[in-house]
Amino acid sequence: MVSRESSKKQYTIEGRVKGDPQVIGEELERLRATSDLTAETVVKAARNAKSPLHGEFVWDDTKAAHRYRLVQARTLVRSVKVIKEGRVPTSHYVHVRSLSSSGKPARSGRYEPIETVVFSIDEYQQALSDLQAKLTAAATAVHELQEAAGRTKKRDQLAVIAIVLKALHTASNAAKKLG
pLDDT per position as a tens digit, 118-171: 898 888 888 888 888 889 989 998 888 888 888 887 778 888 888 888 888 888
Cα gap 93→164, rounded to integer Å: 27
Its domain, for residue 113, covers 92-178
The total of structural domains in the chain comes to 3
Burial code (b: 16+ CB inside 10 Å, e: under 16) for 21-38 equals eeebbbbbbbbeeeeeee
- Confidence class for position 46, pLDDT limits 50, 70, 90: very high
Same-domain check for residues 111 and 165 = yes
- pLDDT of residue 66 exceeding 90, the answer is yes
Cα gap 32→42, rounded to integer Å: 9
* pLDDT for position 149: 82
Same-domain check for residues 86 and 154 = no
Same-domain check for residues 10 and 82 = no
Same-domain check for residues 45 and 63 = no
Same-domain check for residues 155 and 171 = yes
pTM of the predicted model as reported, rounded to 2 decimal places: 0.66
The answer to whether the beta carbons of residues 106 and 99 sit under 8 Å apart is yes
Same-domain check for residues 168 and 111 = yes
Closest CA to 109 of 65, 74, 133, 147: 74
Same-domain check for residues 96 and 174 = yes
